């Protein structure tokens, strides 16, 4: 039994949103190249998403919204470190139709996880949230965003370090920009430290590889181990207290 548990623990240390550094900071050794990036054998079908572009757009981005008239669904884009961890708080919010992990605010078209993780494309790991504005407001999505990030640390979220893990809000129109800026002012009034979360107009969002989508449901044991060892929940509680997201 001890050997079995030790084997399981060893395998879990190889899981992380970042290649190498996250493993070390989460208490494990950096894995060999072959285990850093899970393989993606299947290429997801291309589908029309609100803002996702390139050959890796996913049906999940649009399918949940298919029951609504096109004009009725809206889209929001946020970055809060590891995109695996940003999907759950939105998926359980009523009115959210779908979440898609991906990359945004960079200079390379249709980047791969390996390219973004290397830090040279300018992208940040992000999520695209498709929602029904009649059921949930953009302001509510902003509330969820803030309580699930560390807005006081630049180019890092929890154990994941690098500009690809910076926190950000990417408004798609003037109304979203105004709401985002108002929310930042309200958050800034709570802290003595400066807020380093960026607010930048939305640029193309590229869906991440299929194995990243809904990772927390596909691999719950590994996901929870990674989240815990990365210190995400403990830091959120330190920053937000009882309001901390999960």
Burial zone of 149 (CB within 10 Å; 0-12 exposed, 13-18 middle, 19+ buried): buried
Of 51, 121, 125, the closest CA to residue 83 belongs to 125
Query: Do the beta carbons of residue 104 and residue 79 sit within 8 Å?
Result: yes
pLDDT at 17: 73
Active-site annotation holder among 82, 85, 159, 230: 82
201 vs 173: CA distance, rounded Å: 8
Give yes or no: 82 in active site. yes
The CATH number linked to 155 is: 3.30.1060.10
Q: For residues 189 and 173, is the Cβ–Cβ distance under 8 A?
A: no
The angle that helices 220-229 and 232-240 make with each other, rounded to 10 degrees, is: 50
43 has a pLDDT exceeding 80? no
pTM of the model: 0.78
- Average pLDDT for residues 16-28, to the nearest whole number? 45
Q: pLDDT band for 72, please (50, 70, 90 cuts).
A: confident
Number of domains in the chain: 1
Question: Residue 18 has what pLDDT?
Answer: 54
Band of the pLDDT at 232, cuts 50, 70, 90?
very high
d(CA 20, CA 221): 20
State which residues form the domain around 80: 2-243
Work out the pLDDT band at 38, boundaries 50, 70, 90: very low
Nearest of 67, 142, 140, 143 to residue 98 by alpha carbon:
67
Tell which residue, 58, 224, 69, has the closest CA to residue 127: 58
Mean of pLDDT values over 223-239 = 94
Strands (E), 90-145: 96-104, 124-131
């Amino acid at each position: 039994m001890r050997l079995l548990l030790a084997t399981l623990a060893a395998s879990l240390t190889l899981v992380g949103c970042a290649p190498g550094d996250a493993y070390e900071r989460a208490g494990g050794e950096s894995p060999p190249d072959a285990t850093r990036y899970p393989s993606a054998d299947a290429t997801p079908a291309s589908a029309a998403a609100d803002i996702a572009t390139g050959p890796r757009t996913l049906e999940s981005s649009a399918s949940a919204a298919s029951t609504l008239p096109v004009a009725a669904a809206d889209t929001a884009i946020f970055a809060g470190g590891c995109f695996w961890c940003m999907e759950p708080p939105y998926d359980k919010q009523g009115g959210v139709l779908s979440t898609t992990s991906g990359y945004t605010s960079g200079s390379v078209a249709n980047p791969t996880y390996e390219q973004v993780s290397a830090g040279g494309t300018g992208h940040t790991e992000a999520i695209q949230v498709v929602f029904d504005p009649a059921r949930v407001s953009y302001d509510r999505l902003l509330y969820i965003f803030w309580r699930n990030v560390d807005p006081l640390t630049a180019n890092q979220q929890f154990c994941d370090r690098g500009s690809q893990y910076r926190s950000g809000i990417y408004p798609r129109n003037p109304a979203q920009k105004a709401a985002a800026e108002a929310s930042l002012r309200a958050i800034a009034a709570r802290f003595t430290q400066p807020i380093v979360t960026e607010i930048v107009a939305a640029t193309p969002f590229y869906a991440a590889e299929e194995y990243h989508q809904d990772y927390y449901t596909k691999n719950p044991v590994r996901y929870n181990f990674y989240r815990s060892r990365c210190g995400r929940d403990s830091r959120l509680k330190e920053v937000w207290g009882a309001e901390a997201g999960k």
